[in-house]
């Protein structure tokens, strides 16, 4: 029999302590990337934590499903090799040879085990207190997405403009592998993550790109590396 799983515990306590956003309403949300897998028995609590984060406006939580656990009996239906490569690139950026799930990367810089919600939320607060002077907006009109950004005088170095597409939620019945017999709800499932432009910040950015389909859209400005994410905006 399939089990509907609701994971509770430290994540609920952490979010209860953060009931109200600590950033201004017009502030850029802090990006939280969760590297996860349907075949990882340690991941469901982190997936549930991400689902709770998805209800907040001060963060942009995104689930990137990796493929390196597919061999243990269950092939993740959301996994893409490029998400594994992105996680590997983060590891190389700090000379780390190991990648794992569940891992959360906050603001493109700080790493945490995805089952440590208090630690993750402390990192979010730190990033909110150290935001760079960059404004970013993304407005979608049908298949056209207009991206505008402006950097303050203290912002230096190039930035990569990245377009992210994601689905709000989907439940998966898992019949094999470490999570066999569980029905798990996944949130903010990334379906595509593409660089669309480079921007040096010296002049305002005004860019229109084409987007198709019904997946939700976000734009992220990130330093190469991959490095720090300096701004993010939801388009819908």
Does residue 109 have a cis peptide bond before it, meaning omega lies within 30 degrees of 0? no
Question: Is residue 224 a contact partner of residue 90, using CB atoms and an 8 Å limit?
Answer: no
101-115 mean pLDDT = 97
Q: Output the pLDDT for position 7.
A: 47
Question: Is residue 145 a contact partner of residue 192, using CB atoms and an 8 Å limit?
Answer: no
Q: Output the pLDDT for position 3.
A: 43
Question: Is residue 136 a contact partner of residue 146, using CB atoms and an 8 Å limit?
Answer: no
Residue 1 has pLDDT above 80, yes or no: no
72-77 mean pLDDT = 96
Q: Per-residue confidence at 4, pLDDT binned at 50, 70, 90?
A: very low
User: What count of other Cβ atoms lies within 10 Å of the Cβ of residue 127?
Assistant: 21
pLDDT by residue (tens digit) across 151-202? 998 888 899 999 999 999 999 999 999 999 999 999 999 999 999 999 999 9
Among 107, 137, 138, 139, smallest CA distance to 123 is for: 107
Q: Per-residue confidence at 27, pLDDT binned at 50, 70, 90?
A: confident
Q: What is the mean pLDDT of the chain?
A: 91
Phi, psi of 108 (to 5 degrees): 75, 0
Q: Output the pLDDT for position 20.
A: 46
Q: Output the pLDDT for position 155.
A: 85
Residue 2 has pLDDT above 90, yes or no: no
Pick the more confident residue, 192 or 14: 192
User: What count of other Cβ atoms lies within 10 Å of the Cβ of residue 5?
Assistant: 16
Range of the domain at 31: 3-234
E-only strand ranges, the chain? 3-4, 30-36, 59-65, 103-106, 110-113, 134-141, 144-151, 159-174, 182-199, 205-210, 216-222, 229-234
Pick the more confident residue, 163 or 132: 163
Number of domains in the chain: 1
Can you give the CATH number for the domain in which 85 is found?
A: 3.40.30.10
Pick the more confident residue, 41 or 22: 41
Q: Output the pLDDT for position 13.
A: 46
Among 170, 227, 188, 167, smallest CA distance to 62 is for: 188
Q: Output the pLDDT for position 15.
A: 54
Judge residue 142's burial from the number of C-beta atoms within 10 Å of its C-beta, 0-12 exposed, 13-18 middle, 19 or more buried. Answer: exposed
Euclidean distance between CA atoms 236 and 234, whole angstroms: 6
Residue 80 has pLDDT above 60, yes or no: yes
Phi, psi of 152 (to 5 degrees): -75, 170
């Amino acid at each position: 029999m399939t089990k509907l799983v609701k994971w509770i515990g430290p994540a609920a306590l952490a979010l209860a302590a953060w009931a109200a956003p600590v950033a201004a309403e017009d502030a850029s949300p802090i990006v939280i990337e969760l590297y996860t897998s349907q075949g990882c028995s340690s991941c469901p609590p982190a997936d549930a934590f991400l689902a709770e984060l998805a209800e907040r406006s001060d963060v942009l939580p995104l689930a990137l499903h990796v493929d390196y656990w597919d061999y243990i009996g269950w092939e993740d239906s959301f996994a893409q090799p490029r998400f594994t490569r992105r996680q590997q690139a983060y590891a190389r950026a700090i000379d780390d040879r190991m990648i794992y799930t569940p891992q959360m990367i906050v603001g493109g810089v700080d790493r945490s085990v995805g089952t440590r919600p208090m630690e993750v939320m402390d990192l979010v607060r730190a990033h909110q207190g150290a935001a760079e002077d960059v404004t970013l907006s993304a407005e979608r009109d049908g298949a056209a997405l207009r991206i505008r950004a402006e950097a303050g005088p203290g912002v230096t170095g190039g930035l990569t403009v990245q377009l992210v597409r994601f689905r709000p939620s989907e439940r998966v019945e898992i019949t094999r592998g470490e999570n066999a017999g569980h029905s798990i709800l996944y949130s903010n499932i990334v379906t595509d993550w593409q660089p669309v432009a480079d921007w040096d910040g010296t002049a305002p950015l005004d860019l229109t790109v084409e987007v198709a389909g019904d997946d939700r859209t976000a734009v992220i400005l990130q330093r190469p590396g991959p490095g720090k994410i300096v701004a993010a905006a939801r388009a819908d």
